[in-house]
Chains A and B, each alone.
Chain A
Amino acid sequence: MNRIQLGSNLFEDCENVLIISGTPLFSYKVEPGGIKLSFNVYSPPAKTAIQVEDNLKKKGDVEVEIGKNYAVIKIGKKKLLELSVEGDTAVINLDLRPLGLHIYTDPNALHVGGTQLSQNIIKQSRNGISIG
């Protein structure tokens, strides 16, 4: 089973956890050498496009930091996405405000504009949350 926790919401066996304007925002693979993280957001809706594929920066002024069980994508000093994996569960912190999008998580909820999503469970869905 593949489980992802995003702002207290739990996604089980979902192909895409979060889609923004039709594009899956992130995906990851756990390999013996570490995590392989991909991240993709277009402009618009973001102020600048960011594309990271298997830890390699393709577009955008971002840095990717990778460890055995964690991965971070930063723009300047700000973390856009932070992922840590323990067992079959990945915990993701997200903050797309530096890209001009009202989308971020805190320990209690996923915030999309003024909307809050907390402690929801989405199982076996192709797309968990679709924005735009």
Chain B
Amino acid sequence: MKHETRIEIIRLIENATNYDYPLRWVDEETSLGDFDGREVAIDVFNITVSEQIDFLTRIRQVRNKIREMIGHRGVFIFHSSESTRMHYANLFPITHGVLLEAGSSIRIPLPGPGGTGIRPVLSGDTICLKLRKAA
């Protein structure tokens, strides 16, 4: 599937769901296991079980279009907030409790389609981090 097609499909879903959930095409490096439709599967993160039906209802209007574009029924893999935190923390970095002073700032790339996989960069002369003891 062309890269542009993948982006367009993510955009269709984002518009239908008001950008409420981070999305990405299933990645061979971090999504293990083989299943039918793997190449047309999309991860949907931070979604509760009760929201899954609503998600499918909201994208009903674009599902046929997606099927036409990829020649296959779209497959959605839902991840709750707990499993997102547990298994995909690398996609969702948290910057917490940092003190930046005197000209320091935080730079973040503009999120692309799906919104996952970007990292903030702290820059400046005075950056204080709260260090915590590992459990």
Residues of A within 8 A of B (CB): 20-21, 45, 97-98, 100-103, 109, 112-132
Contact = CB atoms under 8 A, between A and B. Distances in A.
A122 B122 CA distance: 11
Contact of A113 (B20, B98, B103, B111): B111
B105 A122 contact: yes
A47 B120 CA distance: 23
Given A114-B117, A115-B120, A127 B92 contact: no
Given A114-B115, A122-B106, A125-B104, A97 B18 contact: yes
Given A100-B14, A113-B22, A114-B93, A120 B116 contact: no
Instruction: Place the interface of chain B in its size category.
Output: 35 or more
10 contacts: A109-B94, A115-B120, A121-B99, A123-B102, A125-B100, A125-B101, A130-B105, A131-B107, A131-B110, A132-B108
Contacts of A113: 22, 108, 111-112, 115-118
Nearest to B111: A113
Contacts of A116: 92-96
Q: Which of B18, B100, B116 has the largest number of chain A CB atoms within 10 A?
A: B100
Given A21-B110, A114-B91, A114-B93, A120 B101 contact: no
Given A100-B15, A100-B19, A115-B95, A123 B100 contact: yes
Contacts of B18: 97-98
Q: Which of A102, A123, A131, A132 has the largest number of chain B CB atoms within 10 A?
A: A102
Contacts of A100: 14-15, 19
B119 A115 contact: yes
A115 B15 contact: no
Given A114-B115, A125-B124, A120 B96 contact: yes
